[in-house]
Amino acid sequence: MPMEEYSLEDIPGVGEKTAKKLMDIGILDLQTLAHSSPVEIARAADISEDVAEKIISKAKELLGLTVFEDALSILDREKNALRITTSSKNLDKLLGGGVWTQAITETWGHFASGKTQLGFQLAVNVQRPMEEGGLGRNCLWIDTEGTFSSLRISQMAEALGMDIQKVLKNIIVAKVTSASHQMEVVEKYAPKIIKEKDIGLIVVDSITANFRAEYIGRGELAERQQKLNSHLHKLKRLADAYNLAVYVTNQVMMKPDVIFGDATVPIGGTPIAHISNYRIYLKKSKGNLRIAGLADASNLETGEVQFLITKEGIRDPEE
């Protein structure tokens, strides 16, 4: 039986009742099930972790995934990762060709450093054909700070000669008002939207704002980090399961104990540092000029480049 013909109920141990419970938390198909954790499935379906592990293992078996595989097989899978152009050759080169699918790309920086502007450009570019640096797919934008702007998207789309109405229609915006709402959108609703709307990019702007506002003080730090860690892991599973890109913006804080050098650091601690595949800091320079630095990526060299934020969008400085 072809993979797309399998349903959750085709897996031994998953009946109609269990399948409904899984779908209620956004586990709609074998891909998302195979990339889920036994603990998550056990809690949702009210089954033991042993049974959950067997269900997940069967899903992986039907998809042709194995626990052990040689590095050559992993390389073949990694070659399926795609890139979305940033509209800046400098930025694309820094990132090894653009913003990658099967990965989380994080940017941080002060206000007006370009984090959201880059997100807007990616939301437009993901819709372009592959030969023009896109994926020919659509965008899910999770707005946590009320920063989404259809007008700005329209300007960028017009500059590229794209159909503005079509571009706007292909960006699905979720305005979230709390950390729990944000997590619910990713866990419960995102998988369905990804399949129905052919999503190739998820933008979360910003990933940490709600968690930072709601979990205040040292007494709530552990709970905040645990929830943020879970949230990021679910985003990464979606990126892997559907070969899509995840772009998140992050807030910053100042370290009071730093006397010399840059005291600006991203918030979120180890969860976001460990899970983000590409970490980029953005800095304001003169006028519309910005500086982007690759702080961490396992497969790329760190470095800095310059780019511009213009009315038309993200561009390179004139030579």
CATH number of the domain residue 122 falls in: 3.40.50.300
Question: What's the number of domains the chain is made of?
Answer: 2
Q: Is residue 72 part of a domain?
A: no
Q: Is residue 69 part of a domain?
A: no
Q: Is residue 48 part of a domain?
A: yes
Taking residue 64's Cβ as centre, other Cβ atoms within 10 Å add up to 8
246 and 100 belong to one structural domain = yes
Q: Is residue 74 part of a domain?
A: no
Is it true that the peptide bond before 154 is cis, omega within 30 degrees of 0?
no
What pLDDT digit, counting tens, does each position of 108-121 carry?
Answer: 999 899 999 999 99
CATH number of the domain residue 53 falls in: 1.10.150.20
pLDDT tier for residue 44 given thresholds of 50, 70 and 90: confident
Helix residue spans in the chain (DSSP H):
16-24, 30-34, 38-45, 49-63, 71-78, 89-94, 115-125, 150-159, 164-169, 179-184, 190-197, 209-214, 221-242, 269-275
| pLDDT at residue 290, as a whole number | 97
| pLDDT at residue 160, as a whole number | 98
The range of the structural domain enclosing residue 10 comes to: 3-63
23 and 169 belong to one structural domain = no
Rounded to two decimals, the pTM is 0.83
